[in-house]
Chains A and B, each alone.
Chain A
């Protein structure tokens, strides 16, 4: 064994001194990063698959309800606050832009379609990532480093079934509902700024919404919400569950970094997947 290791070290040393290695090094690094990324993606996909497979059991219901309360119900206030001001600022900016073209009657359609198709699902997902996603990563991460996940194994309790699956299902239930809340309150925000503050006719605002928003807009928005739910819940649970395998740190610091990674990766993936899903839905 020692001989083999020595030989390997020797061959690495020789490779480093070979001409041309310097030029190949950037490609090696890129290759390693891409392979690592693909491996991670595959692992996360299997992680999601395992969690979904282990959903179907009567005892899961109470855990899912608990998580719906935590991820969904307790996020409602912040979602309402953010959506109200998003709608208001959207109404305000759009009013001043539309009035230049004499198209202020389309304010309701612009606000509602922007919210239902894009802003509602995206901002809801980002807000839940910040509020509940980070907490999920930290909670599972601490359970991992304090051997609570190992304790589940020793008690023959499947950690996927106990920790991961309820959170992913709860996210899939909560995200569309909170998106609906966001859309509704956002449209009211647009009404407040456009109608109550800037004097647009209320009938014009609501008629514009009624005549321009159809069922496909709503379903597209909810499809996005479900995709974001799966992404956010999977990323946050995955980062927490495998916190002990991080190479950059250990213990409490690893939990902190995992939480940061979970939020950053979730937000980036929300925006990337938003473009991909929108493209597919528009085909």
Chain B
């Protein structure tokens, strides 16, 4: 792998006699979304504040592109920090300034841009974060979600190369949480910054993270992909992941990936030789177009409605489902062979075409009906699995069989 963008070597941080970080070693790579997970009060925010220089380690070295911070000149450090933005857990918006002024503040104070240029950039960010109506209101007059978006807009106004997010979804409802995470992922792709996020929104953060760092017992115990974390055998998994995951049926009402795997194993044990099961994979197309046209909140409502619809239909006949990716759902039909599964899917498709897709669209319009519309479709595929087959292979097979089962077309007057 390349030289890490940021590297911690044996970092120790104490507050008085209390040690908060002990021999922390980690690597963060450029252009990725890296999420630091851990229980509340485990030192995640302290770790993040070391990156931006708000806190200094008592021992150990922080390296940027392989060069220790302690060996950098002041001008180099200043140039480095100029490329970093920070979104605070409590937003840290200036309550005596309007949203517009909050977002414009870094440009006004740290650049020599003309007023018109500042206005253009700020209004662009305000539009992108769906804050147009709140531009001239004070933070105390906004909802929690709007405040988060204002803080995000302020963090992104200087086009930073590294953005640190300290629990960006705290205090939000499930739809908003996922909308904020989706927004971070979208901006990360669009502006190609390196995102470093502190969160305990498991498994929601998995959908947008390239790497996960697990902070446990004052040190980093795991670094790797979300998939690798699933196979990580450590008390962290039991004490942290499972306890946090248990709460995470909020958005879609579906099982988490881990619970889904556990259920599947239980079902596998019950099956006798020769008994089959089927897996159906559903994909929502055009999610990015929905986000850019309708906004993150409505896109999350679409996902929420789709999850609820799938769960309602297949849950009634003994199936169980999970969300695999941001726009993909998987359902296990535990005692069905391919012929039966095809028949079940046929019924589902019929219902879905008659009512389901309209329900999903109605979900999107629930928050604030708008005249906007965007085409999207749902694709589905099924595959039969043997008890010995790895579930991921069966899912891949179902995915490869996908074909369109429903489409919402604005032109036909939806």
Establish whether residues B109 and A150, one from each chain, have CB atoms under 8 Å apart when the complex forms. no
Chain B residue at minimal CB-CB distance from A153? B54
- Quick check: is B349 within 8 A (CB to CB) of the other chain? no
Q: Which residues of B in the span 70-85 have a Cβ within 8 Å of any Cβ on A? A: 78, 81-82, 84-85
Please report the C-alpha to C-alpha distance between residue A162 and residue B154 in the assembled complex, in whole angstroms: 17
Chain A min CB distance to B401 (Å): 49
Query: Which of A59, A139, A150 is the one whose CB lies under 8 Å from B92?
Result: A150
Choose among A59, A154, A162 the residue that contacts B85 (Cβ–Cβ < 8 A): A154
B82 x A148 contact (CB < 8 A)? no
B82 proximity list for chain A (CB < 8 A): 156
Q: Which residues 85-103 in B have Cβ within 8 Å of A in the complex? A: 85-86, 88, 90, 92-96
B92 A146 Cβ-Cβ under 8 A: yes
A148 contacts B54, C-beta separation under 8 Å: no
CB pair B86–A154 under 8 Å, yes or no, is: yes
Q: Which residues of A contact B154 (CB under 8 A)?
A: 155
Give the nearest-CB partner of A150 in chain B: B54
Contact present for A146 and B90 (CB under 8 Å)? yes
With a cutoff of 8 Å between Cβ atoms, the chain A residues found around residue B171 in the complex are none
8 A Cβ contacts from B101-125 to A: 105-106, 108-110
Report the nearest A residue to B52, measured CB to CB.
A154
Q: Does A157 contact B (CB under 8 A)?
A: yes
Indicate if the CB atoms of B86 and A157 lie closer than 8 Å. no
Chain B residue with the shortest CB-CB distance to A142: B95
Residues of B within 8 A of A156 (CB): 78, 81-82, 106, 110
Decide if the interface of chain A is mainly helix, strand, loop or mixed.
helix
Does A196 belong to the interface (CB within 8 Å)? no
* Inter-subunit contact B109/A151 (CB<8 Å): no
Given A150-B54, A150-B88, answer yes or no on A143-B106 (Cβ-Cβ < 8 Å). Answer: no
Q: Is A12 part of the binding interface, using a Cβ–Cβ cutoff of 8 Å?
A: no
Determine the chain B residues whose CB is within 8 A of the CB of A143 once the complex forms. 94
- In the complex, what residues of A have CB within 8 A of residue B108's CB? 59
Chain A residues numbered 113-168 whose CB sits less than 8 Å from any CB in chain B: 139, 143, 146-148, 150-151, 153-157, 162
Residue of A with least CB distance to B82: A156
Task: Identify which of A59, A139, A148, A151 contacts B86 (C-beta below 8 A).
Answer: A151
Are B52 and A59 within 8 A (Cβ)?
no
Contact of A147 among B84, B90, B106, B109 (CB under 8 A): B90
Please give the distance in Å from B140's CB to the nearest CB on chain A: 11
Residue of A nearest to B96 (CB): A139
Most A Cβ at <10 Å: residue of B90, B92, B106: B92
Contact in complex: A147, B110 (CB < 8 Å): no
Chain A contacts of B85 at CB under 8 A?
154-155
CA distance in complex: A155, B96 (Å): 17
When A151-B86, A154-B84, A156-B81 are in contact, do A162 and B92 touch as well, CB less than 8 Å?
no
A34 to nearest B CB, angstroms?
Answer: 24
B80 to chain A, nearest CB (A): 11
Q: Is the CB of A155 within 8 A of B106?
A: yes
Q: Is the CB of B110 within 8 A of A151?
A: no
Q: Which of A143, A148, A153, A157 has most B Cβ within 10 Å? A: A148
Within 8 A of A (CB), among B320-373: none
Q: Are B109 and A162 in contact (CB under 8 A)?
A: yes
- CB <8 Å contact, B92 and A147: yes
Contact between B81 and A151, CB atoms less than 8 A apart? no
Q: Given A147-B90, A150-B92, decide whether A155 and B109 contact each other with a Cβ distance below 8 A.
A: yes
B90 engages A157 (CB within 8 Å): no
| Chain A contacts for B53, CB-based, 8 A | 153
Choice from A5, A147, A157 contacting B88 with Cβ under 8 Å: A147
Which of chain B's residues has its CB closest to A151's CB?
A: B92
Tell me, in angstroms, the Cα distance from A153 to B82 when the chains sit together.
10
B170 vs chain A, min Cβ distance (A) = 13
Q: Are A155 and B105 in contact (CB under 8 A)?
A: yes
A contact residues around B158 at 8 Å (CB): 155
Interface string of A170-184 (1 = CB under 8 A from B): 000000000000000
- Considering only CB atoms, which chain A residue lies closest to B166 in the complex? A147
A155 to B53 CA separation, bound complex (whole angstroms): 12
A151→B158 CA distance, assembly (Å): 14
Residue of A nearest to B17 (CB): A5
In the docked arrangement, what's the CA distance between A161 and B95, Å? 19
B78 proximity list for chain A (CB < 8 A): 156
Min CB–CB distance A92 → chain B (angstroms): 43
Tell me which residues from 1 to 48 in chain B have a Cβ below 8 Å from any Cβ of chain A: 17
With A146-B90, A147-B90, A150-B92 already in contact, the answer to whether A157 and B54 are too (CB < 8 A) is no
A148 touching B109, Cβ below 8 Å: no
- Kindly state the separation between the CA atoms of A148 and B154 in the bound complex, as whole angstroms: 13
Q: How far, in angstroms, from A167 to B81 measured CA to CA in the complex?
A: 27
28 A-B residue pairs with CB within 8 Å: A5-B17, A59-B108, A59-B109, A139-B96, A146-B90, A146-B95, A147-B90, A147-B92, A148-B93, A150-B54, A150-B92, A151-B88, A151-B93, A151-B94, A153-B52, A153-B54, A154-B52, A154-B86, A155-B106, A155-B110, A155-B158, A156-B78, A156-B82, A156-B106, A157-B105, A157-B106, A157-B110, A162-B109
- Chain A residues near B (Cβ < 8 Å): 5, 59, 139, 143, 146-148, 150-151, 153-157, 162
Contacts beyond the supplied A148-B92, A151-B92, A153-B52: 19 A-B pairs with Cβ under 8 Å: A59-B108, A139-B96, A146-B92, A147-B90, A148-B95, A150-B88, A150-B92, A151-B94, A153-B53, A154-B84, A154-B85, A154-B86, A155-B106, A155-B110, A155-B154, A156-B81, A156-B106, A157-B105, A157-B110
**Chain B residues at the A interface, C-beta cutoff of 8 Å:** 17, 52-54, 78, 81-82, 84-86, 88, 90, 92-96, 105-106, 108-110, 154, 158
User: 9 closest Cβ contacts across the A-B interface?
Assistant: A151-B92, A154-B86, A147-B92, A155-B106, A157-B109, A147-B88, A156-B110, A148-B92, A154-B52
